[in-house]
Structure 1
Amino acid sequence: MILVQIDGLKAYYTVEQDGQFRNIRAVDDVSLEIEENDFLAIVGESGCGKSTLAKVLYGALDPALKIVDGNVRLAFGDYKYEISPKGNTLPEAWWERISYIPQGSLSALNPVRKIDQIFRDLLLSHNLPFDIKSIEEHLNLLNLSRQVLKMYPFELSGGMKQRVVIALATFLNPKIIIADEPTSALDVVTQNDILELLSLLHNSKKICFVFITHDISLIPNLANMMVVMYCGNFVESGTVDELFSNPLHPYTRFLLSSIPKIGDKTEKKPIPGSIVSLINPPSGCKFHSRCPYKSDLCGNSKPPMIKVGSNKHEVACWLYR
């Protein structure tokens, strides 16, 4: 069953530069299907549009961010929602059917409300009764004691605050959770605990996850599907096993080669060049100025996503035309 259908989505920020209003093409014509029970990882360098895509999928559009073209359709049984240039019907589904763990979620909790009051606010917004026993059982599942409920956010460690945010995001049993860099501000040990927790929730509660990260090394033991994003475009997608064993796009290969391996003493080389401007992106393939395999075609024509091999493997590269 397909939960999310993205068709030709373009989402731009409007900014003023040199006295003129210009568009930052943060998400520039992407299409994707997300199925029920998927654990999808979206990976790429900082500034490639991952967080913007997460905001659009959750319908959290701010005044500077607008849908220029395409749409996102979400289906939860009889409940159907759409995000498009015409409007956004998703907010009524927040928390109950779709939840969001934001980037920098450690500061997402109200500092002047105790944790039980924050849970009370959540339930009140959905006209649900405050059931302390259910909340305590849910916190226990996430390795949090009931004492946490009587504490303020500043009294909790970073890992505990992150668990509370995850507890809030999962309490109403949504069908899908969008997690935007949920471990970026944590130490390695706490990071591993949070990843194990997300995996547990995915398997035990059958929650679909969209996991945004710039750290490709986190993905193999967590996700089953993967999308590689560069400068607002998808450049490769497929199963995690397929992309790790048979990466095709040069950008994907560069990302995978950056993962440190035990016993590997070879020099790690950075991707040549720098990420291109999203205000004035180059024509053709946006990666061609950094690609060692580029041809004249790459600078003149944008490659489409084409299917290769099996396991839903797709790549946008003229090397495979």
Structure 2
Amino acid sequence: MSKLLKTEKEETVYIEIEDLKAYYTTEQYGIVKEIKAVENISINIEGNSFLAIVGESGCGKTTLARVLYGAVDSPLSIIEGKICYHFNDKKFELSPTSNSLKKIWWEKLSYIPQGSLSALNPIRRLKDIFSDLALSHGKAYDEQKVKTHLEMVNLPSYVLQTYPFELSGGMRQRCVIALATFLNPNIIIADEPTSALDVVTQRDILQLLNNIQTNFKSTFIFITHDISLVPGLADMMAIMYGGCIVEFGSTESIFVNPLHPYTKFLLSSIPKIGDKTEKKPIPGNPVNLINPPVGCRFSPRCPLGKEICTESRPNLFNIDTQQHQVACWLYQ
């Protein structure tokens, strides 16, 4: 792995998410339906932190990533709440009536999508893609600077002359990471960046992301369905189920003392050397986001549920002084 240069920005970064609701509106056979993909999320993310958002497929993680990036287009819309990105004395906001996040794409806020091919123009060489990025932000294309940056993500300079389809999946993903970090953004959102890669390449990409966050002092938001990837990578965790964040806190605190029943199920699914016990699936079916339960969205599957769990949805509240929050009536 090539050594990453320390080029951190001196800006103070703070992300505030308040009562966020984001729904998809669909119509089929004249019937309009709302998919409640993100529901009442309120968390704050400190600058220079590495946050992992964890949950099973279909829980709203990718939608939340899109909303955090400001890529909100029909049929997705913000129903209520807001996201505020604070940079020193400047503020950029996403709400039902405004979206100023697109103004800071690439230079302050960047995004690594789930599939590398979806982020790379298949009929443009990598050299042209980097050139387009630089010129679109009023910067001259400096090939030597690009080669130096490629070296930092462990890519040979010859990739500049190639088309995306000529590269392996791991190399394409490194190219996407190189593009996302080229203008040294303060905040990077990575949506399942290793999901289509083999185990060895996955390990290398995770190490690369960790090195980038450490050396560039950036704020990282990492989306994953695999909770086993989080230790040693993220210092903060948010557990997501059915469009809601059900537990939020430091990675150490959640792994040592998981509180929400869903979090406990996720942690129990991690294979351990020498453990021959049968891994049991979570009972029941994933929540229907078109017609979710009135109360806690995990209540139909929860073995510890009470009557109040089916009647009212709990908000996140503090458990201790170590910034560990849970949305569960069992602790109130």
User: TM-score, length-normalised on structure 2?
Assistant: 0.95
In structure 1, list runs of 5 or more residues that go unmatched: none
Matched residue of 1:88: which SS? Answer: coil
Q: Which amino acid aligns with 2:314?
A: P
Report what 1:283 is aligned to. 294
1-structure distance, mates of 2:203, 2:263: 24
Matched residue of 1:263: which SS? Answer: coil
* Residue 220 (structure 2) pairs with residue 209 (structure 1): yes
Q: 1:86 aligns with which of 92, 97, 103?
A: 97
Residue-by-residue CA offset, 1:100-142 (whole Å, 9 max, x unaligned): 0012123321111111100000011101001111111111111
Report what 1:219 is aligned to. 230
Report what 1:172 is aligned to. 183
Report what 2:142 is aligned to. 131
Residue-by-residue CA offset, 1:15-74 (whole Å, 9 max, x unaligned): 114522111100011001111111000000111111001001100012100000000001
- Structure 1 residue 205: Cα displacement: 0.7
Q: 1:256 aligns with which of 263, 267, 277?
A: 267
1-structure distance, mates of 2:204, 2:13: 30
1-structure distance, mates of 2:178, 2:64: 23
- Structure 1 residue 2: Cα displacement: 4.9
Q: Which amino acid aligns with 1:255?
A: L
Task: Describe how 1:1-321 pairs up with structure 2 within 5 A.
Answer: 2-321=13-332
* Structure 1 segments of 4+ aligned residues over 3 angstroms from their partners: none
User: TM-score, length-normalised on structure 1?
Assistant: 0.98
Instruction: Say if 1:14 and 1:64, in contact at 8 Å, map to a contact too.
Output: yes
2-structure distance, mates of 1:76, 1:236: 27
In structure 2, list runs of 5 or more residues that go unmatched: 1-11
Instruction: Say if 2:69 and 2:110, in contact at 8 Å, map to a contact too.
Output: yes
- Structure 1 residue 77: Cα displacement: 2.2
2-structure distance, mates of 1:154, 1:45: 30
- Structure 1 residue 310: Cα displacement: 2.8
Residue-by-residue CA offset, 1:240-281 (whole Å, 9 max, x unaligned): 000000000000000000000101101100000011111111
Instruction: Say if 1:2 and 1:33, in contact at 8 Å, map to a contact too.
Output: no
2-structure distance, mates of 1:33, 1:208: 12
1-structure distance, mates of 2:313, 2:119: 39
Q: Which amino acid aligns with 1:253?
A: K
Matched residue of 2:78: which SS? Answer: strand
1-structure distance, mates of 2:90, 2:174: 29
Aligned residues: 321
1-structure distance, mates of 2:29, 2:36: 18
Name the stretch that deviates more: 86-95 or 14-23: 14-23
Instruction: Say if 2:116 and 2:169, in contact at 8 Å, map to a contact too.
Output: no
Q: Which amino acid aligns with 1:231?
A: G
1-structure distance, mates of 2:276, 2:189: 36
1-structure distance, mates of 2:60, 2:267: 19
Report what 2:7 is aligned to. none
